[in-house]
Amino acid sequence: MKRIITLSACTALAVVALWAFSPVEKAAKDELKIGAKAPMLETPVMDVSGKKITLKEVGKENGLLVNFSCNTCPWVSRWEDRYNPIAKLAKEHGVGVIALNPNAAIRDGGESLEDMKKRSDKNSYNFYYALDKDSRIAKAFGATRTPHIYVFNSEMELVYRGAIDDNARSAEGVEKPYLKNAIKEMAAGKEISDKTSKSLGCTIKFPASE
């Protein structure tokens, strides 16, 4: 009897272990819709400066730019030469800028706050770079990859979602500067020409419970 109970317990444990560690297929997540209000505006996030901030505090008179970014994705590296110029452009147009690192599952694999600080220092980031604890904000936004851009207007309504531009490989080769256009058009009170766009990118490494 004891043997049967032990065997059953082991089997149950094995099933639980398999369930816990097997990768699960995922359908595309529901991304924040154009016009939707920015969620989690008042959730504090830790910036590489050591200061806690909220998205609400980062936003400026004309809006907010959120970039889900990280340290370990080659696509981020390819686009990174455009990070500072775009942040400068956004600030000049009254738009606050923050990059959030959502890779909670691999904090020990190059995505810790310390790693983020090094990245920010190395590339002289001229914008906030904060840690999205447990990928909570990424989940609320429906973000799936890095880099993944969200732009909100002064009412904190989503006006643009998607890629930085249409050419990760080369800033010179860009034909459609989606994000720059969205910032300029939004600040000028115009309709955004391309409200959404897509690009390839690295999957966000959500926590294991995802």
Partner 1 sequence: MLLVVVVFSVMNCSNSPDEPEVKTAHVEKKTPLLEDVDGEALQQIINSYKGKKAVLVNVWATWCVPCVEEFPEIVKIQRKYPKELRVIFVSADFPEDRSRAKKFLKDHNVDWTTYFKTAKDEAFINSLSKDWTGALPFSKIIDRKGNEVAHWENKASFDTFNKHVKQAIKP
Which residues are at the interface with partner 1 (CB under 8 A)?
A: 22-29, 31, 74, 78, 144-145, 148, 163, 166, 168-169, 197-204
CB nearer to partner 1: pick between 79 and 128: 79
Q: How far is the CB of 197 from partner 1 (least distance, A)?
A: 6
Question: What amino acid occupies position 111?
Answer: E
Q: How far is the CB of 78 from partner 1 (least distance, A)?
A: 8
CB nearer to partner 1: pick between 128 and 141: 141
Six-digit token string for 163: 């890629």
Write down the residue that tokens 């190395």 correspond to: 122
Q: How far is the CB of 207 from partner 1 (least distance, A)?
A: 14
Distance CA 158, CA 33 (A): 7
CB nearer to partner 1: pick between 93 and 161: 161
Side by side, which strands form the sheet with 63-68? 52-53, 45-47, 128-131, 95-101, 63-68, 148-152, 158-162
CB nearer to partner 1: pick between 4 and 28: 28
Six-digit token string for 122: 């190395």
Q: Is 136 helix (H, G, I), strand (E, B) or coil?
A: helix
Six-digit token string for 102: 């959502």
Q: How far is the CB of 11 from partner 1 (least distance, A)?
A: 18
